Amino acid sequence: MQLIPMPLGPINPEVEHLAVGAVLFGSLYVFVRRMIFRVNRVLEERATILEGVTGGPAAELRREAERIRAEREATLAEARHEAARTRQQAREQGAVLIAAARADGLRERDEILTAGQATIVTERASTEAELRSQVPELASVLASRIVGEPLPTATASGR
């Protein structure tokens, strides 16, 4: 069956072909329209991203984040510098304390050595005096052992 009842040739389509063509065109239109919406959405997202990279609220946030990061790095650098200064002061104070302790130790050592030498001199003198008083008696005992007979003990005044 033809749409127009005149013999127009290929220009006069049949109704069935026209119906199939209309259904195919409608389904293709719906499919392309959905694809165009998706493409438009992707293009809008891309534009938003590009706007964020080049300017807009995201760029302002990025600049703010960079400023805060720079402030934080400056604060950290200052804290590191302060820590280094504190360590240096602690080293200097430690060196002063070590030098003072060393000086105290040397002073105490010298005092102990002086006291020990004085004690040695005193004990040596007393021991020497004690031995000098016993020399004649010890000499008599030694001589009697050598001779083999008892000898009279000599006194220090009898020399």
Separation of alpha carbons 77 and 69, rounded Å: 12
The residue type at 13 = P
Cα 5 versus chain centre, distance: 96
Task: Report residue 158's pLDDT band, with 50, 70 and 90 as the boundaries.
Answer: very low
**What average pLDDT does range 84-108 have in this prediction?**
96
Amino acid at site 52: G
Mean pLDDT of the chain: 86
C-alpha torsion angle, residues 8, 14, 19, 24 (rounded to 10): -70
Ramachandran area for residue 56 (φ above 0: left; ψ -120 to 50: alpha; else beta): left
> 155 with 136: CB under 8 angstroms?
yes
* Residue 143 vs residue 97, higher pLDDT: 97
pLDDT confidence band for 115 (50 / 70 / 90) = very high
Q: What is the pLDDT of residues 26-67, one digit of tens each?
A: 999 999 999 999 999 999 988 887 776 666 666 778 888 999
What integer is the mean pLDDT of 66-74? 96
80/157: higher pLDDT: 80
Asked if pLDDT for residue 139 goes beyond 90, the answer is no
pLDDT recorded at residue 47: 84
pTM: 0.41
Q: What is the pLDDT of residue 154?
A: 62
What pLDDT band is residue 88 in, cutting at 50, 70 and 90? very high
Position 159 scores a pLDDT of: 45
Distance CA 135, CA 143 (A): 12
